[in-house]
A and B are shown apart, each in its own frame.
Chain A
Amino acid sequence: MDELVRIVPYFGTHNPKVARAIVLALILVAPILALGIGPAWVRILDFALLYVMLAVGLNLVVGFAGLLDLGYIAFYAVGAYTWAFLASPHFGVHLPFWIVLPLGAGFAALAGVILGFPVLRLRGDYLAIVTLGFGEIVRIFMNNLNHPINITNGPQGINMLDSLHIFGWDVSRRIVITDSFSINSLLLYYYVFLAFVTLSVILVQRLQVSRIGRAWAAIRDDDLAAKAVGINVRNCKLLAFAMGATFGGVAGGLFGAFQGFVSPESFSLMESIIVLAMVVFGGMGNIGGVIIGALLLSWLPEVLRSYAVPMQTALFGQVLLDPEILRMLVYALALIFMMLLRPSGLMPAHSRYSRPDLVLANKRVGP
């Protein structure tokens, strides 16, 4: 929150209270403004929130603990498929969200531990490739487990997933207040997702300044030294994997409920890299930066998508770059240029983060 407040022009540095109010108002009003442009933009915001959650979770693994995970989307898939198995006509099971979401998170965490256990001894770059392999294995299973017993329904995916019901209230149904005034379900999803994201962010922030968070930072900076001061490096790394996976799992469940449809296609290597791009772009290890990175990188391609096509037809009379390609271009360039020009991201993690006690006291270290 504080990081977000600081980037508000003028007020951010001069009057933090006003800036805080502006940020809050913006967060709350954003979907209504977006609805003014068109429902598609609210949908984009909803997805942006899911990406924020993923990015915050991946940041925990990559930014805090320094473990580059290229198969992160597998945990998202585990969450989404848990939802698909336990809340859809596919197996005829319809459990409520307060059972399915925690289960999804639990399974994802379990997957994180299963992956983490053997690979944590590996050096950084090897770890990255093995996690990538893990992601691919999960995807291959999703694609092929429709035979001889149909579990995942293969490449077709599973559809007609239950929507989110919170204590009997169906989020996917618009609330009709009067005949002329009703609240769009996309807006409702936005606020539900917002609640989840807020919760995750608070959780992660508390984690970062906790004993565990400090242990992660120590491992990231030098795991030999961390071991020497008595940190159980293996368990801490496992915990990072499991915790990061949990966020992925919850986001996956929400994705399943929101989309109403899951298929292996949504969980390709490219998605993992997109989330990584968000984390890197915003600033590894800095929660505020990561949120901004996720919002910008999920929003920018969509803006390009809606402006690029008309602009190209106007300029060249035909569409030279289709929007999907533009989207990839944005992510690729974000990764390359961020690493070359500003390796610590848009909003770098301050060195004071290695002194969490001072963060708590809200003091600045150094000049």
Chain B
Amino acid sequence: METLLQQIINGLVVGSMYALVALGYTMVYGILGLINFAHGDILMIGALVALQAITFAQHTWPHLGALPTLAFGLVVAVPVSMLMGYVIERAAYRRLRNAPRLAPLITAIGVSFLLQTIAMIVWGRNYYSFPQLISTTPLQPVKGVYIAPVQIVILIVSAVLMAALIVLVNKTRIGRAMRATAENHRIASLMGVDANAIISLTFVIGSGLAAIAGVMIASNYGIAHSTMGTLPGLKAFTAAVLGGIGNLGGAMLGGILLGLVESIGAGYIEQFSFGFFNSSYQDIFAFVILGVVLVFRPTGLLGERVADRA
């Protein structure tokens, strides 16, 4: 029982990080119909920039304290990632908006590759240890079940961010413009919405969330490197598809579910396969789920039926 509870907690923590990243995928897909392959790498850039800023802060103001240092890292990393998202959309995707579907996807793969290369040029291929500014010493609320303060912070921050995003999209003027653009950007612009600005804004918001998720992932595992974005990126995409791509609630649900399946699966796979599989197969779950969902319910759990072709 403790194991199950423990896996659920781990799953929730990992899942909420996936959910944050998945929101970026789903927002961009909802508006442009584009799988922004480079999203995971923006996460990586966010984490590495934050690392740089935190190291700088620790050297310059050694007495700043843990939380302000982390906050400083975020204050630097989030705008950098946002700018990155903006530039990428502007330079690489905007020209291809009316191109055949595969063209922007291939470009996106190229951009993802390019971001990794840039990160390698700037930071090298080393694995950096990410300063764990929030304690990772596990607390034991129930006997046999552990949760670290950093994990609690991750849960709270992602919940707050997701709530804020939902309010933004559903209650504000900008949100209405975003929804209108997603519906049909031609008609939205006829109604006076600056569709280009809204699309840029979507990339900016998504990239900001990705940067925060990147810092979370790095703090949780205590490590940051130039290819750290690929796998979380793919998994977050899976989460977005699982929930129904284009649907914000779906991305959150999908992220949490994926996190839970992964950690519970990894915890029990050895038992169920009579020792043949072990937890090193953890990464397979996401891809298998992705395949199964797309084949049997391509619209995901919460997605609406969309036409096959535009």
Q: Are A339 and B106 in contact (CB under 8 A)?
A: yes
Closest to B112 in A: A332
- Please indicate the chain A residues that have their CB under 8 angstroms from the CB of B121 in the complex: 320-321, 325
Per the 8 Å Cβ criterion, residues 181-234 of A in contact with B are 224
A124-B294 contact, Cβ under 8 Å, with A136-B283, A273-B109: no
- Please indicate the chain A residues that have their CB under 8 angstroms from the CB of B298 in the complex: 121-123, 126
Q: Are A137 and B288 in contact (CB under 8 A)?
A: yes
Cα–Cα distance between A122 and B286 once the two chains are bound (Å)? 18
The verdict on B221 contacting chain A, using a C-beta distance below 8 Å, is no
Q: Pick from B111, B117, B120, B295: contact of A121, CB below 8 A.
A: B295
For the complex formed, measure the closest distance between the CB of B111 and the CB atoms of chain A, giving whole angstroms: 6
Q: Are A133 and B113 in contact (CB under 8 A)?
A: no
The verdict on B81 contacting chain A, using a C-beta distance below 8 Å, is no
Over the window 256-289 of chain B, the binary record of Cβ atoms lying under 8 Å from chain A Cβ atoms (1 yes, 0 no) is 0000000000000000000110101101101110
The verdict on A128 contacting chain B, using a C-beta distance below 8 Å, is yes
The verdict on B105 contacting chain A, using a C-beta distance below 8 Å, is yes
Cα–Cα distance between A320 and B121 once the two chains are bound (Å)? 8
The verdict on B35 contacting chain A, using a C-beta distance below 8 Å, is yes
Of the candidates A125, A128, A273, A277, the one having the most CB atoms from chain B within 10 angstroms of its own CB is: A125
Q: Are A335 and B106 in contact (CB under 8 A)?
A: yes
- Please indicate the chain A residues that have their CB under 8 angstroms from the CB of B294 in the complex: 119, 122, 126, 130
Q: Are A134 and B287 in contact (CB under 8 A)?
A: yes
Q: Are B278 and A147 in contact (CB under 8 A)?
A: yes
Cα–Cα distance between A128 and B117 once the two chains are bound (Å)? 22
Per the 8 Å Cβ criterion, residues 79-137 of A in contact with B are 118-119, 121-126, 128-130, 132-134, 136-137
For the complex formed, measure the closest distance between the CB of B182 and the CB atoms of chain A, giving whole angstroms: 17
Q: Pick from B92, B120, B237, B288: contact of A336, CB below 8 A.
A: B92
The verdict on A144 contacting chain B, using a C-beta distance below 8 Å, is yes
Q: Are B106 and A280 in contact (CB under 8 A)?
A: yes
The verdict on B149 contacting chain A, using a C-beta distance below 8 Å, is no
Q: Are A133 and B276 in contact (CB under 8 A)?
A: no
Closest to A327 in B: B117
Cα–Cα distance between A325 and B99 once the two chains are bound (Å)? 30
| Number of A-B residue pairs at CB separation under 8 A | 122
Of the candidates B95, B109, B120, the one having the most CB atoms from chain A within 10 angstroms of its own CB is: B109
Cα–Cα distance between A228 and B295 once the two chains are bound (Å)? 23
- Please indicate the chain B residues that have their CB under 8 angstroms from the CB of A66 in the complex: 102
- Please indicate the chain A residues that have their CB under 8 angstroms from the CB of B68 in the complex: none
Per the 8 Å Cβ criterion, residues 318-367 of A in contact with B are 320-321, 325, 328-329, 331-336, 339-340, 343
Cα–Cα distance between A144 and B276 once the two chains are bound (Å)? 10
Cα–Cα distance between A332 and B105 once the two chains are bound (Å)? 13
Over the window 98-116 of chain B, the binary record of Cβ atoms lying under 8 Å from chain A Cβ atoms (1 yes, 0 no) is 0101111111011101101
Closest to B287 in A: A133
For the complex formed, measure the closest distance between the CB of B154 and the CB atoms of chain A, giving whole angstroms: 25
Over the window 219-258 of chain B, the binary record of Cβ atoms lying under 8 Å from chain A Cβ atoms (1 yes, 0 no) is 0000000000010001001100100000000000000000
The verdict on B96 contacting chain A, using a C-beta distance below 8 Å, is yes
Q: Pick from A121, A137, A336: contact of B114, CB below 8 A.
A: A336
The verdict on A68 contacting chain B, using a C-beta distance below 8 Å, is yes
Cα–Cα distance between A307 and B45 once the two chains are bound (Å)? 30
Q: Are B105 and A68 in contact (CB under 8 A)?
A: yes
The verdict on A168 contacting chain B, using a C-beta distance below 8 Å, is no
Q: Are A276 and B106 in contact (CB under 8 A)?
A: yes
- Please indicate the chain B residues that have their CB under 8 angstroms from the CB of A125 in the complex: 34-35, 101-102, 105
Residues of A within 8 A of B (CB): 66, 68, 70, 118-119, 121-126, 128-130, 132-134, 136-137, 140, 143-144, 147-148, 224, 269-270, 273, 276-277, 280, 320-321, 325, 328-329, 331-336, 339-340, 343
A122-B298, A332-B110, A339-B106 known; 18 new pairs, CB 8 Å cut-off, are A66-B102, A119-B294, A125-B35, A126-B298, A129-B234, A133-B286, A133-B288, A134-B291, A136-B234, A144-B280, A276-B106, A325-B117, A333-B110, A339-B96, A339-B99, A339-B103, A339-B110, A340-B96
Show 15 residue pairs from A and B whose CB-CB distance is below 8 angstroms, ordered by the A residue: A68-B105, A118-B295, A133-B238, A133-B291, A136-B234, A137-B288, A144-B281, A148-B276, A269-B230, A328-B117, A328-B120, A335-B109, A335-B110, A336-B110, A340-B107
